[in-house]
Structures are given as structure tokens and as C-alpha cells.
Structure 1
Amino acid sequence: MTKQFLLNLMLTFVWVALTGDLSFVNFWFGFALGFFILYIKEKNDGDVKYFVRVPKILGFLLFFIYEMIKANLQVAYDLVTPKFFMQPGIVKYPLSAQNEFEITMLSNIISLTPGTLILDVSADKKVLYIHVMYLKDKEKFIRRTKEKIENRLLEILR
């Protein structure tokens, strides 16, 4: 998979060099063009893991940006209004992530979202303790985090 990514980057830079335009749009167009070329070349070889993972990564990034904007707006609204809507709480979140890298990535993504903060990881690495600023329903928060963030992240990492 690393080989395909490096080839894709190389094709992207070749595209940028040939067009002579190092703009954001041209770079991403070159990346998409290189991705398509590599997909055509590699689809008969059976090693299509890269071509499944890249769209999932892009989808996850778009989802995360949407969630971050939504959480920022919620916190900003709460700050500018006279009444506080906060309902803080601590959640004991059961982990599906198995190794330290997966736990670290999940913890970082959860902590980057405004209104949430990782407090601790249990000694057996089975539970994550999360402080949530707007906690209305613990089970809904756990289910939503499991489905929307952790499962998507683990699909990308594994």
C-alpha cells in the first residue's frame, strides 16, 4: 500500500511539473488522476487495498471536518448566549481498538473535537474515560462515537 501511495504522489508531482501550476486544485486533480491511472494499472494484480482505503480516508476527513465545525458552532453559541446549555459528564467508553496506535489515534480524534476531552485509558486498555461538555444521553454518545468515529477509523487503520 505504501508503494501505491508513493507512486500516486510521484504521478501527482509529475502532473504539477508538466502543467506548471502548483495550486491546491491542480495538486488534487493530479492526485485524483494518478489515483485513477494506478487503479487501472493495479486492478488486475489483485492488490486493491490502497484503492479501497483512500476513499475511506477522504470520507472520514470530510466527516471529521463537519463534526468539528458543528461542535465549534455549538460551543460558540453556548459562549455568546447568556444561558449555558452545558451538561458535562464523564463517559466510560468501551474500546474496540486493540493496540496503542489505534487507541492513540482514536483519543486524538476525540480530543480534537471541541467539547470532548480524553481523561484516561484504563490499565488493561479496554476502557477510555471521556469528559463530554454536552452529554444528554451516555448510551447515545457511546453508540454514536462507536459507529461514526471508532469503526470508521479502525476500517482505515486495519
Structure 2
Amino acid sequence: MFKFGTAFADVRKTVIDEAHMTNPLCCAGVVTLMFAVVTPALAQQQSAAGRIKMVSGSAFIVRQGAPIPAQVGQFVFEADGLRTGADGKIGVTLKDDTRVSLGPSSEVRLERFIYAPADGALGLVLKFVQGAAAYVSGRIAKLAPDSIRLETPAAIVGVRGTSLAIRVQPQ
């Protein structure tokens, strides 16, 4: 028995599929759309400075001025900030194995992070804004100790491979 609806759907599908496959603008649009969706995700993963390893209480990544609730495994990028609430703690490990931990009511900004040892490009600038933090240097400090700077509102410190605790009073 002939079903008009089924036959019409088959013809319409064939016509539409053939029209889309032979239309160069459509194919170019599909390729462009694929790159637009995939490229930013790949770029973010490639340029990540590190990852969040520990979160407790209220802790946030501040990205482009907007707080994002922090989660273990989340990427941290150059220019991101880390902020904790009164009950918060957060720990981050950067690609060079530098470790930074923040206690409650604390904030630090990753002003600069460059880790390309094969190219000789190394650098780390952390700006401690307020609160308590612990810092353990990674490979950048071993390979290029003069390329690390820790900033507080009162001082700028060059680091040559060490671990330290910092407390910054709010201004």
C-alpha cells in the first residue's frame, strides 16, 4: 500500500540532502561553525597555567572580573584570580609544579605565567592582594630564578627556589 506521507518525506529528505551537499556556501558554513566551536576549547586547554587541586568552603576563580565557583580539576589561566570566602580554602598546582594555597578571606592574581622551557620562555608573577597564602616554587624557579616575582601591596619579592607563607592585611 502506498503511503503518501512516507514517500513525500523520502523525496524531501533526498532533495534537501543533495542541495546541502552540493552548495559550497553551506559546506563552508559547516566547516566554519565546527572551527568556531572547537578552536576556543582547544586553545583554553593548551594555554591553561594549571589546575585546581583542592577546594573547601567558598572559593572562586575570578576570570575577567566575574567570580566562578571553583571546582577540583578546573583549569586556571594567566590573568585569573583566586578568591576565598570566610570559610574557604583553595589549592592550585601550576604546569611547572608551582603550588599556591589560599586560606580563608584571601585573594591572589596570576598576573603572568609563561612556561615554555624548550623555547627558554619562563616567567611567573603572582600578586597577593589579601589574606594568607602558601607558595612552593616549581621548575620555573629552578630553571630561571630571576623570572619569578611575588607582589604584595607593600613589597615585591624575587624568589630563588623556596617555599614561604605570606599574610597580606586588607587596605
Q: TM-score by structure 2 length?
A: 0.21
User: Which structure would you say has the larger Rg?
Assistant: 2
Bigger relative contact order, structure 1 or 2, given CA contacts below 8 A and separation 6+?
1
Give 1 or 2: higher helix fraction. 1
